[in-house]
């Protein structure tokens, strides 16, 4: 049994946390706040096919560092996860890697919608948590942009009562813009090529399909204020739709291209500071329901290629909680909203089984993000160099206690 004393709960009570495990230790948790462990419903852990970027050994350690004990992994692997067989093989690979890692990370898998394999969807109902539709192409070769196939996916999903999550960017608009900007090697062009119109048009299309068939819909990584307005309106008119925001759209904007170049190239791309402000408001008022990191690791070498050759994606699973706690300390968010957006809303929307994992955070600790301390395989972050206040000290998963690394420096001394 492990006992952690003097821990502060969100309701203000001071409690002891008791874990029924095989060790026998007593820890003074004075100065620590108890939060429900986080769920990250949007990760790209690269198995199978791209393990040089990430795998479940490195990723599970990175999750624990951020108080994340449940993840939902995306299907744009190599090969893409678009058949029953692909899905079972992927489950096996992940289970083996988690076993080697010794981390009982809870995980669920998205199934990739592919027009050649729409018949597979019914077979995977029990093995996949939801269906992912790439309405615009991104990393990998998943794409459904023709009207008949899109209709078919939304119809099948509604019949099976499965959730559909969309990467909402319009492929035709992106294609036209690519021609317009061909030869342009400025990374900032990315936000013009994958224009806000592309995102808005695709969100409109997805919402109207969800309304038509009664499909449960999630709009992933919302990036513009117009998308937020569409989501708000759709909810008001009774469509069963929810919205996700990614940390890079909250903490980065088009102003960051000058410093970070292709490292902050991501799909959908970074937007304007006023979009950023709108996303924060939508999160705080509950129009946007949850946060997903869209953790999309690529190696430094890959990300150092010139614009046009560099892949899109930003890793962030490991820094999600410090970024959000720092935002709480700055008054941009409160802990109650943090818990809704990283745990309780996700459990409801994805209908996940309950569990009692926790994370213990020190709201006063100040540390500087640095690449060398990262556990993700790619070991770089666009947040490196930031001084963040609020860091997790312990993650509790399935009654097991993980003490987090202590090598970070800071103006406030470590409590443990
Ligand atoms: O920037 C992105 N990277 N957006 C996506 O939709 C996919 C992701 C990846 O897998 O690299
Ligand atoms: Zn993604």
User: What would the pLDDT profile of 218-229 be if each residue is shown by its tens digit?
Assistant: 999 999 999 999
Smallest Cα–Cα separation from 58: which of 388, 374, 407? 374
180: pLDDT confidence band, cut at 50, 70 and 90? very high
The first and second tokens of residue 344, run together, are: 């309780």
Q: What's the average model confidence in pLDDT over 236-248?
A: 98
Give distance in angstroms: CA of 219 to centre of ligand 1.
15
- Whether pLDDT at 410 is above 80: no
Smallest Cα–Cα separation from 73: which of 122, 130, 150, 114? 130
Give the pLDDT of residue 137: 87
Q: What's the average model confidence in pLDDT over 19-33?
A: 93
Q: What's the average model confidence in pLDDT over 115-126?
A: 96
| CA 44 to ligand 1: nearest atom | 10
- Whether pLDDT at 415 is above 80: no
Q: What's the average model confidence in pLDDT over 366-379?
A: 96
CA distance 155 to 164: 10
pTM of structure = 0.96
| CA 298 to ligand 1: nearest atom | 11
Smallest Cα–Cα separation from 275: which of 297, 252, 292? 252
Instruction: Please work out whether the CB of residue 223 comes within 6 Å of at least one atom of ligand 1.
Output: no
Per residue in 56-110, pLDDT (tens digit) is: 999 999 999 999 999 999 999 999 999 999 999 999 999 999 999 999 999 999 9
22: pLDDT confidence band, cut at 50, 70 and 90? confident
Instruction: Please work out whether the CB of residue 77 comes within 6 Å of at least one atom of ligand 1.
Output: no
Give the pLDDT of residue 344: 98
Instruction: Please work out whether the CB of residue 167 comes within 6 Å of at least one atom of ligand 1.
Output: yes
* Per-residue burial over 187-207, b = 16 or more CB atoms within 10 Å of its CB, e = otherwise: bbbbbebbbbebbbbbbbbbb
- Whether pLDDT at 158 is above 60: yes
- Whether pLDDT at 409 is above 60: no
| CA 311 to ligand 1: nearest atom | 11
Give the pLDDT of residue 406: 66
Give the pLDDT of residue 194: 97
CA distance 402 to 370: 21
Q: Mean of the per-residue pLDDT values for the chain?
A: 96
140: pLDDT confidence band, cut at 50, 70 and 90? confident
DSSP assignment string, 166-180:
EE---HHHHHHHHHH
What's the gap between Cα 95 and its chain centre?
A: 21
Give the pLDDT of residue 91: 98
Instruction: Please work out whether the CB of residue 139 comes within 6 Å of at least one atom of ligand 1.
Output: yes
What's the gap between Cα 74 and its chain centre?
A: 10
Q: Which domains does the chain have, with CATH numbers?
A: 1-31 (no CATH), 36-368 (3.20.20.140)
- Whether pLDDT at 145 is above 70: yes
Q: Percent of the chain having pLDDT more than 70?
A: 97
Give distance in angstroms: CA of 296 to centre of ligand 1.
6
- Whether pLDDT at 386 is above 70: yes
* Per-residue burial over 143-167, b = 16 or more CB atoms within 10 Å of its CB, e = otherwise: bbbeeebbebbbbbbbeeebbbbbb
Using DSSP's 3-state secondary structure scheme, residue 123 falls into helix
23: pLDDT confidence band, cut at 50, 70 and 90? confident
Instruction: Tell the residue nearest (CA) to atom 7 of ligand 1.
Output: 139
Give the pLDDT of residue 264: 98
Per residue in 185-221, pLDDT (tens digit) is: 999 999 999 999 999 999 999 999 999 999 999 999 9
329-332's contacts with Cβ under 8 Å and 24+ in sequence apart are 329/363, 329/389, 329/390, 332/280
CA distance 256 to 233: 31
């Amino acid at each position: 049994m492990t006992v952690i004393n003097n821990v502060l709960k969100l309701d203000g009570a001071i409690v002891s946390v008791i874990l029924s495990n095989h060790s026998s230790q007593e820890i003074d948790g004075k100065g620590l706040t108890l939060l429900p462990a986080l769920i990250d419903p949007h990760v790209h852990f690269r198995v199978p096919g791209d393990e040089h970027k990430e795998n479940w050994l490195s990723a599970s350690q990175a999750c624990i560092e951020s108080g994340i004990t449940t993840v939902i992994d995306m299907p744009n692997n190599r090969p893409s996860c678009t058949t029953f067989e692909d899905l079972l093989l992927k489950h096996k690979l992940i289970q083996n890697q988690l076993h080697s890692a010794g981390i009982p990370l809870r995980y669920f898998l998205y199934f990739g919608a592919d027009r050649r394999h729409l018949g597979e969807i019914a077979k995977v109902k029990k093995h996949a948590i939801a269906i992912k539709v790439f309405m615009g192409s991104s990393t990998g070769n998943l794409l459904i942009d023709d009207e008949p196939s899109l209709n078919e996916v939304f119809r099948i999903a509604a019949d099976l009562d499965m959730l559909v999550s969309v990467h909402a960017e319009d492929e035709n608009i992106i294609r036209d813009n690519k021609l317009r900007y061909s030869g342009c090697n400025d990374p900032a062009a990315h936000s013009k090529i994958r224009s806000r119109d592309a995102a808005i048009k695709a969100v409109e299309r997805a919402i109207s399909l969800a309304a038509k068939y009664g499909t449960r819909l999630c709009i992933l990584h919302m990036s513009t204020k117009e998308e937020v307005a569409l989501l708000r309106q759709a909810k008001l008119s009774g469509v069963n739709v929810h919205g996700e925001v990614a940390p890079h759209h909250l903490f980065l904007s088009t102003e960051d291209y000058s410093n970070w170049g292709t490292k902050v190239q991501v799909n959908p791309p970074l937007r304007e500071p006023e979009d950023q402000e709108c996303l924060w408001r939508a999160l705080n008022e509950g129009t946007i329901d949850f946060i997903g990191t869209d953790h999309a690791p690529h190696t430094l070498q890959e990300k150092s290629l010139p614009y046009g050759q560099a892949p899109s994606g930003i890793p962030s699973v490991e820094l999600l909680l410090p970024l959000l706690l720092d935002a709480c300390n700055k008054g941009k968010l409160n802990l109650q909203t943090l818990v809704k957006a990283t745990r309780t809303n996700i459990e409801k929307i994805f209908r996940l089984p309950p569990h009692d994992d926790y994370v213990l955070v020190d709201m006063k600790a100040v540390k500087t993000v640095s690449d060398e301390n990262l556990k993700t395989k790619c070991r770089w972050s666009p947040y490196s160099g930031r001084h963040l206040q609020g860091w997790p000290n312990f993650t509790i998963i399935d009654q097991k206690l993980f003490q987090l690394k202590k090598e970070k420096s800071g103006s406030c001394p470590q409590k443990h």
